[in-house]
Amino acid sequence: MLQGNNLECMRGDRVLFSGINFSIKPGELMQVRGPNGSGKTSLLRMLCGLAVPNSGEVSWNGSDIRSLGEDYYSVITYLGHLSGVKDDLTTIENLCITSALAGVEIDKKTACEILQKMGLEKREALLAKVLSQGQKRRVALARLLLVQTKLWILDEPLTALDVSAIELIKNIIERYLAQGGMVILTTHQEINITATVTHQLYLS
């Protein structure tokens, strides 16, 4: 269970948000909404441990994530604005390396199958720099099919994706939620994801 207690974020002396409280249990979804510049990305970076809240704490099963360190990183998957796809590596190399970094070592055959599921067949041996933005995003999202973590933190996962890819991601997230996963995501698009409980968090 992930809990945020009284989280506050400052940019210079401006308070971006404060007093954010929430808790998410297995099978639940939290959508973070708010206009540009309201601190959605800052909040998500706090939740995955990349940034430290100015006050308050984020806790996983009751303990502060700062003290858990790598034990916490092994149960979460974070997908940020920057997709982490290397232009000079092929699609398949990108997937193998990012999933190895996430602790799942896969062979080329598995990687090919995953890329096919993401609609990237015949693109396996291409350098990522020749792919379109949407295709790069698909490569980054392919990791979701491999990792076995308990919490996904997705920052704008749907940017640059076409309708069929959005549908695909929606299905992946729904299946994951049904299996007891937790998802926190930000998106500007309207998307209806079925979950047992959907929390809405508004930042203004």
Partner 1 sequence: MLIWIIRRDLLLAMRRQADVLTTLFFFIIVVSLFPLGVGPEMNILRIMAPGIVWVAALLASMLSLGRMFSNDYLDGTLEQILLSPTSLPLLVLGKMFSHWLVTGVPLVLMAPVLGIQYDLPFSALIVLTLSLLLGTPILSLIGAIGAALTLGLRGGGVLVSLLVLPLYIPVLIFGAGAVEASTAGLGFDAHFSLLGAFLLVSLVCAPWATAASLRISIE
70 part of the interface to partner 1, by CB under 8 A: yes
Among the residues of 91-200, which ranges form H helices? 91-101, 108-117, 133-141, 163-178
Q: Tell me the closest approach of the beta carbon of residue 195 to partner 1, in angstroms.
A: 24
| Binding-residue pattern over the window 11 to 50 for partner 1, x denoting contact by CB under 8 A | -------------------------------------xxx
Say what angle helices 133-141 and 91-101 make with each other, to 10 degrees.
40
Q: Tell me the closest approach of the beta carbon of residue 20 to partner 1, in angstroms.
A: 18
In the complex with partner 1, the residue whose CB is nearer, 110 or 198, is: 110
In the complex with partner 1, the residue whose CB is nearer, 13 or 88, is: 88
Handedness of CA 100, 134, 201, 177 (dihedral sign): negative
Tell me the C-alpha to C-alpha distance, in Å, between residue 190 and each of 40, 50, 186.
16, 27, 11
Of 104, 183, 185, nearest to 143 by C-alpha is 104
In the complex with partner 1, the residue whose CB is nearer, 109 or 200, is: 109
For residue 116, what is the DSSP state? Answer: H
Residues 105-164 within binding reach of partner 1 (CB under 8 A) = 105
Q: Which residues bind partner 1 (CB under 8 A)?
A: 48-52, 70, 73-74, 76, 78, 80-89, 93, 97-98, 100-103, 105
